[in-house]
């Protein structure tokens, strides 16, 4: 035990004197967590809190176009700026550049008249079946309405464009339905529909209640911090590969390793010491990042991180993730020959494992073929275990299904390390 | 009672990537308490032989016994009976001399009180007391050599292997190190030493072996060899036995 204690003390001393390594290990994940959460939070707000700048060019003077204009303003997703109807495509694109608007909508001059003709036709056809009206005449127009043009900035991702299209279709539906209802009422009652009735028919939609599914029955809605902080904590833990993997290689290449081999102590003591030391380091990383999520995030205008109810489970998951991360880093250090190799392989492999593990892209959004590959990534199981606690309100027993594969992967990594050490005659 | 520190019989060894055997039926005996020098040109196999004796490299045939124990089958705990001063600086540059000695002392199997006692002794005798709490990476080459030596003897080994222990140091440090080694030998520690510094070797070694192309070409007391080959110094003896052509 004294040898292990002395080795841990040596590792801690070396670690604490490596200011650059410490900065990388603690500052990098904090910066990542803050930046990514700010970005995701503002994206969420942009989509949901009327933040997206939109240019609206209404070339139609009709009633339906005014209704559409008003409906777009009420969507709550856009910051609408109206532009003169005479502007052409080039002027609009210039305005989009100068005003930083990501989207522009052009309502064509014939929108109201075409919509009116179409809705009258629909109403007439509907009444023909009900009243056996022999006066029904074939429509004078094709029944089609000229398209509403949507210009968008190329940086706008497909998911945003689909959200905008969905909102636009919904407003068009309201305008069209209003016209149909008015025409039907007019034809049936030979008078205009009262505003109150029209509003009841058009706007009285069935409400949708969103309820997050949780294991503990709590109804708190997960925020961007609940998603991001566990993900970037796992990423940071595995990024100790740069410091620890490099340290193993340095030790292997330096004369100190030669001396260690001639001393009456097994090198496994050094490996156990490194694992224990870096489990403590990763635990502190998690502690720092979680503390920042709780204490600093609200001061930055970001949602506060809510810790799960099962703190014991959280500690065990953190220790397990740390053990796996330290084992992986040591394995990289053992199988590589130079520090450059260790840094390159370590960094690239962690980014890849993070990508396939659901840290960079949510696992539910992955192609089906990746759903099997992602199970090979230890980061996936770490993240699932954290999400089980943070998002699903689970307890330790609920996330054993994530911890056991993580334990298995850790043991496989340890076995690979031992085989590599044996093959290189290092133990 | 066996008086042999090292007994090598019919040693066979070849590096995996080299077709030719480096050692073929090499024999060498070194007695306990001896101050023994192994010399030879570059690539002769001195460092390899030292690595085999310390168990760092596995030999393919023959027998290598260190203090009566077959090196190939010795247990790890046996390693506390010898020390090794590698040619490279073999310690942690980020640590202080005291911290390095604490760590390597624990790995050598010493307890805390013995380590502390030995640290005080060694830092004092090797002139490192004033810098005991400074990081080694800021030291001069000579100071680093002394730290390298101190770590190797902290557990007071019976046999000390030294692979060029004074390379790259100034005259003062060289004299200090050689003096310290003489004292250790006088106290009973067996020294097995290799170096290209033949003048210092003359003052340290009583017996020597010259090795060339994997074979021991002479093995006797320095006095006998100088007399037999009519040379007045180790350098002349070396050149007369190994020639003047490059060996790199």
Q: CA–CA separation, A79 vs A81, rounded Å?
A: 7
Asked whether residue B71 is domain-assigned, the answer is: no
**Residue B97 pLDDT:** 96
Q: CA–CA separation, A322 vs A326, rounded Å?
A: 6
Asked whether residue B111 is domain-assigned, the answer is: yes
Burial, A43: exposed, middle or buried (Cβ in 10 Å; 0-12, 13-18, 19+)? middle
CA distances to A96, A363, A382, A401 from A370, rounded to whole Å, are 39, 9, 17, 19
Q: Which domain holds residue B91?
A: 34-53+77-242
**A1: chain B residues, CB-CB within 8 Å:** none
Query: Which pLDDT tens digits describe chain B residue by residue (248 residues)?
Result: 578 899 999 998 888 877 788 888 889 999 999 999 998 888 788 888 999 999 888 888 899 999 988 988 877 778 889 999 988 888 998 999 999 999 999 999 899 999 999 999 999 888 899 999 999 999 988 899 999 999 999 999 999 999 888 888 888 888 888 889 999 999 999 999 988 877 788 888 888 888 887 888 888 887 887 777 777 777 777 777 676 666 66
What phi, psi does B225 have (nearest 5°)?
A: -65, -45
**Residue B184 pLDDT:** 92
- Among left, alpha and beta (phi > 0; psi -120 to 50; other), residue B4 is beta
Q: CA–CA separation, A380 vs A386, rounded Å?
A: 10
Q: CA–CA separation, A292 vs A294, rounded Å?
A: 5
Give the best residue of A5, A8, A256 to mutate against chain B (max B CB count within 10 A). A256
Residue A50 pLDDT greater than 60, yes or no? no
Q: Which of B133, B102, B96, B103 is nearest to B119 (CA)?
A: B102
CA A113 to chain centre: 43
Instruction: Give the SS3 label for residue B119.
Output: helix
Q: What is the DSSP string of A279-309?
A: HHHHHHHHHHHHHIIIIIGGGGTPPPPPPPS
**Residue A283 pLDDT:** 95
The whole-chain average pLDDT of chain A stands at: 84
A254 or B37: which leads in pLDDT = B37
The alpha carbon of residue B121 is apart from the nearest alpha carbon of chain A, in Å, by: 20
Asked whether residue B10 is domain-assigned, the answer is: no
The alpha carbon of residue A253 is apart from the nearest alpha carbon of chain B, in Å, by: 10
**Residue B246 pLDDT:** 64
What phi, psi does B32 have (nearest 5°)?
A: -60, 145
Domains in chain A (CATH in brackets) are 2-42+224-423 (no CATH), 50-203 (3.40.190)
Q: Which residue of B has its CA nearest to A1?
A: B106
Instruction: Give the SS3 label for residue A346.
Output: helix
Mean pLDDT of all residues in A327-342: 93
Mean pLDDT of all residues in A38-55: 69
Asked whether residue B70 is domain-assigned, the answer is: no
The answer, for B56 touching chain A at a CB cutoff of 8 Å, is yes
**A9: chain B residues, CB-CB within 8 Å:** 102-103
Q: Which of A79, A241, A256 is nearest to B86 (CA)?
A: A256
Q: CA–CA separation, A234 vs A238, rounded Å?
A: 6
A161 or A107: which leads in pLDDT = A107
**Per the CB < 8 Å rule, is A254 touching B88?**
yes
The alpha carbon of residue B184 is apart from the nearest alpha carbon of chain A, in Å, by: 20
Task: Name the residue among A2, A7, A258 with its Cβ closest to that of B56.
Answer: A258
β-pair partners for B70: B65
CA distances to A35, A401, B54, B193, B221 from B34, rounded to whole Å, are 68, 65, 17, 10, 11
Residues ≥6 apart with Cβ < 8 Å to A157? none
A420 or B169: which leads in pLDDT = A420
**Per the CB < 8 Å rule, is A10 touching B95?**
yes
What counts of helices (H) and strands (E) characterise chain B? 8, 10
**Residue A418 pLDDT:** 93
Q: CA–CA separation, A214 vs A281, rounded Å?
A: 31
Q: Which residue of A has its CA nearest to B98?
A: A10
Find the helix or strand (DSSP H, E) in which A357 lies. Answer: none
Q: What is the DSSP string of A96-128?
A: HHHHT-SEEEEE-TTHHHHHHHHHHHHHHHHHH
Asked whether residue B161 is domain-assigned, the answer is: yes
**A265: chain B residues, CB-CB within 8 Å:** 76, 107-109
Q: CA–CA separation, A259 vs B91, rounded Å?
A: 8
**Residue A49 pLDDT:** 58
Q: What is the DSSP string of B69-89?
A: EEGGG--GGGGGGEEEE-SS-
pLDDT band at A35; cut points 50, 70, 90: confident
A360 or A109: which leads in pLDDT = A109
Q: Are B190 and B34 in contact (CB under 8 A)?
A: yes
The answer, for B168 touching chain A at a CB cutoff of 8 Å, is no
**Per the CB < 8 Å rule, is A14 touching B94?**
yes
pLDDT band at A254; cut points 50, 70, 90: confident
Q: CA–CA separation, B93 vs B135, rounded Å?
A: 7
A49, two tokens: 């809190």
The alpha carbon of residue A40 is apart from the nearest alpha carbon of chain B, in Å, by: 41
**Residues of chain A contacting B, Cβ within 8 Å:** 2-3, 5-7, 9-10, 13-14, 17-18, 254-256, 258-266, 269, 425
Mean pLDDT of all residues in A234-260: 86
Residue A251 pLDDT greater than 80, yes or no? yes
Mean pLDDT of all residues in A302-309: 86
Give the best residue of B66, B85, B97, B103 to mutate against chain A (max A CB count within 10 A). B103
**Per the CB < 8 Å rule, is A259 touching B102?**
no
**A14: chain B residues, CB-CB within 8 Å:** 92, 94-95
The answer, for B99 touching chain A at a CB cutoff of 8 Å, is yes
Asked whether residue B66 is domain-assigned, the answer is: no
**Residue A129 pLDDT:** 66
A229 or B19: which leads in pLDDT = A229
CB atoms within 10 A of CB A381: 30
Q: Are A15 and A22 in contact (CB under 8 A)?
A: yes
Task: Name the residue among A6, A255, A266 with its Cβ closest to that of B88.
Answer: A255
CA A412 to chain centre: 30
Q: Are A16 and A196 in contact (CB under 8 A)?
A: no
Residue A14 pLDDT greater than 70, yes or no? yes
Q: CA–CA separation, A174 vs A199, rounded Å?
A: 10
Q: CA–CA separation, A255 vs A263, rounded Å?
A: 13
For chain B, what is the domain count? 1
Which CATH number covers residue B161? Answer: 3.40.50.300
What phi, psi does A393 have (nearest 5°)?
A: 65, 25
Q: Are A273 and A359 in contact (CB under 8 A)?
A: no
Task: Name the residue among B88, B92, B107 with its Cβ closest to that of A265.
Answer: B107
Mean pLDDT of all residues in A402-406: 94
Q: Which residue of A has its CA nearest to B99?
A: A10
Which residues numbered 69-88 in B keep a CB inside 8 Å of some CB on A? 76-80, 82-84, 86-88
B173, two tokens: 């440090």
Asked whether residue B2 is domain-assigned, the answer is: no
The answer, for B104 touching chain A at a CB cutoff of 8 Å, is yes
**Residue A45 pLDDT:** 64
**Per the CB < 8 Å rule, is B76 touching A266?**
yes
Q: CA–CA separation, A188 vs A170, rounded Å?
A: 27
Task: Name the residue among B87, B92, B108 with its Cβ closest to that of A14.
Answer: B92
The alpha carbon of residue B151 is apart from the nearest alpha carbon of chain A, in Å, by: 9
Percent of chain A at pLDDT > 70 equals: 89
The highest-confidence range among A44-58, A211-225, B66-80, by mean pLDDT, is B66-80
Q: CA–CA separation, A314 vs A286, rounded Å?
A: 10
pLDDT band at A212; cut points 50, 70, 90: low
Q: Which residue of A has its CA nearest to B109?
A: A264
Q: Is the dihedral of CA A380, A385, A387, A388 positive or negative?
A: positive
- Among left, alpha and beta (phi > 0; psi -120 to 50; other), residue B246 is beta
Residue A218 pLDDT greater than 80, yes or no? no
Residue A366 pLDDT greater than 90, yes or no? no
**Residue A282 pLDDT:** 94
The answer, for B55 touching chain A at a CB cutoff of 8 Å, is yes
Task: Name the residue among A6, A259, A264 with its Cβ closest to that of B90.
Answer: A259
pLDDT by residue (tens digit) across A67-99?
Answer: 888 888 887 778 888 888 888 888 888 888 765
A283, two tokens: 């635990």
**A274: chain B residues, CB-CB within 8 Å:** none
- The DSSP code for A204 is -
- The DSSP code for A241 is I
Q: CA–CA separation, B29 vs B49, rounded Å?
A: 13
């Amino acid at each position: 035990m004294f040898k292990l204690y002395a080795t841990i003390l040596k590792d801690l001393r070396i670690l604490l004197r490596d200011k650059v390594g410490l900065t990388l290990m603690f500052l990098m994940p904090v910066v990542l967590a803050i930046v990514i959460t700010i970005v995701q939070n503002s994206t969420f707000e942009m989509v949901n809190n009327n933040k997206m700048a939109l240019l609206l060019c209404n070339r139609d003077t009709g009633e339906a176009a005014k209704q559409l204009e008003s409906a777009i303003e009420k969507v709550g997703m856009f910051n609408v700026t109206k532009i003169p109807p005479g502007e052409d495509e080039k002027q609009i694109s210039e305005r989009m550049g100068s005003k930083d608007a990501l989207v522009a909508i052009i309502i064509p001059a014939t929108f109201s008249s075409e919509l009116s003709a179409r809705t009258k036709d629909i109403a007439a056809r509907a009444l023909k079946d009900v009243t056996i009206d022999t006066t029904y005449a074939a429509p004078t127009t094709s029944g089609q309405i000229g398209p509403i043009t949507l210009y968008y900035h190329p940086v706008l991702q497909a998911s945003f464009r689909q959200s905008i299209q969905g909102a636009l279709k919904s407003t068009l539906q309201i305008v069209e339905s209003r016209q149909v209802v008015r025409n039907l009422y007019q034809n049936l009652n030979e008078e205009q529909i009262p505003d109150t009735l029209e509003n009841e028919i058009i706007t009285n939609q069935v409400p949708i209640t969103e309820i997050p599914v949780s294991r503990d029955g709590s109804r708190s809605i997960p925020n961007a911090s609940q998603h991001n902080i566990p993900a970037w904590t796992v990423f940071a833990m595995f990024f100790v590969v740069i410091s620890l993997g490099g340290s193993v290689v340095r030790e292997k290449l330096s004369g100190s390793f030669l001396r260690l081999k001639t001393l009456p102590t097994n090198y496994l003591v050094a490996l156990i010491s490194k694992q224990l030391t870096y489990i403590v380091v990763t635990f502190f990383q998690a502690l720092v990042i979680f503390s920042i999520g709780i204490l600093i995030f609200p001061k930055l205008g970001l949602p506060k991180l809510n810790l799960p109810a099962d703190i014991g489970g959280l500690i065990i998951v953190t220790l397990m993730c740390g053990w796996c991360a330290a084992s992986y880093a040591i394995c990289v250090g053992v199988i590589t020959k130079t520090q450059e190799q260790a840094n390159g392989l370590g960094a690239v492999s962690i980014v890849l494992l993070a990508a396939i593990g659901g840290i960079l892209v949510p696992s539910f959004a992955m192609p089906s073929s990746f759903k099997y590959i992602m199970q090979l990534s230890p980061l996936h199981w770490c993240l699932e275990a954290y999400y089980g606690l943070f998002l699903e309100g689970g307890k330790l027993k609920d996330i054993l299904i994530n911890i056991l594969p993580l334990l298995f992967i850790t043991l496989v990594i340890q076995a690979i390390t031992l085989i590599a050490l044996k093959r290189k005659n290092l133990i | 009672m066996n008086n042999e520190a090292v007994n090598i019989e019919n040693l066979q060894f070849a590096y995996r990537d080299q077709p030719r055997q480096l050692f073929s039926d090499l024999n060498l005996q070194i007695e306990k308490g001896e101050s023994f020098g192994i010399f030879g040109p570059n690539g002769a196999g001195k460092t390899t032989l030292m690595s085999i004796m310390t168990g760092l490299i596995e030999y393919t045939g023959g027998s290598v016994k260190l203090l009566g124990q077959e090196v190939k089958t010795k247990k790890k705990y046996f390693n506390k009976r010898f020390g090794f001063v590698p040619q490279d600086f073999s310690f942690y540059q980020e640590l202080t001399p005291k911290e390095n000695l604490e760590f390597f002392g624990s790995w050598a199997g010493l307890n805390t009180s013995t380590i502390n006692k030995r640290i005080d002794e060694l830092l004092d005798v090797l002139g490192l007391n004033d810098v005991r709490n400074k990081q080694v990476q800021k030291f001069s080459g000579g100071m680093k050599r002394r730290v390298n030596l101190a770590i190797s003897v902290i557990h007071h080994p019976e046999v000390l292997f030294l692979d060029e222990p004074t390379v790259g140091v100034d005259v003062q440090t060289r004299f200090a190190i050689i003096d310290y080694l003489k004292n250790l030998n006088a106290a009973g520690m067996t020294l097995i030493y290799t170096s290209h510094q033949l003048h210092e070797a003359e003052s340290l070694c009583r017996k020597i072996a010259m090795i060339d192309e994997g074979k021991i070409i002479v093995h006797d007391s320095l006095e006998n060899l100088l007399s037999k080959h009519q040379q007045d110094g180790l350098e002349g003896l070396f050149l007369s036995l190994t020639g003047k052509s490059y060996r790199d």
